[in-house]
Amino acid sequence: NAGVMQNPRHLVRRRGQEARLRCSPMKGHSHVYWYRQLPEEGLKFMVYLQKENIIDESGMPKERFSAEFPKEGPSILRIQQVVRGDSAAYFCASARTGQETQYFGPGTRLLVL
């Protein structure tokens, strides 16, 4: 039973480009959470989604960031016009139902040059 998958594992972008981070939840899991870990800092919640719905986006920056979890396919975290401060590790976690244990993926390390 494969765990949570994220790709790419490493992503390099120049300032102003777009970054797309993908998260495939564990089989049978319909809830996805995104977290960000800035260098030398702790993990911070960004957004919580169910299939086709955003449930809680209170941790998302107001501009340039968006997330989706379509009926088919992986969840996508999209960062437009990236800046150096977006350089971080982005982790997603999935759960079978909203209240159950969250299992994390290996993360995507974004570096903005």
Partner 1 sequence: DAKTTQPTSMDCAEGRAANLPCNHSTISGNEYVYWYRQIHSQGPQYIIHGLKNNETNEMASLIITEDRKSSTLILPHATLRDTAVYYCIVRVVETSGSRLTFGEGTQLTVNP
Instruction: Report the interface residues with partner 1, using CB under 8 A.
Output: 4, 31, 33, 35, 37, 42-45, 48, 50, 55-56, 59, 89, 91, 93, 95, 97-99, 101-107
Q: How far is the CB of 81 from partner 1 (least distance, A)?
A: 26
Distant-in-sequence, close-in-space partners of 3: CB < 8 Å, separation ≥ 6: 26, 103, 105
Nearer to partner 1, 17 or 43 (CB): 43
Minimum Å distance from CB 84 to partner 1? 19
Q: Quote the CA–CA distance of 6 and 69 in Å, as a whole number.
A: 14
The Cα 23–Cα 83 span in angstroms is 22
Question: Min. distance of Cβ 63 from partner 1 in angstroms?
Answer: 21
Nearer residue to partner 1 within complex by CB, 82 or 90: 90
- Cis ω for the linkage preceding 8 (within 30 of 0): yes
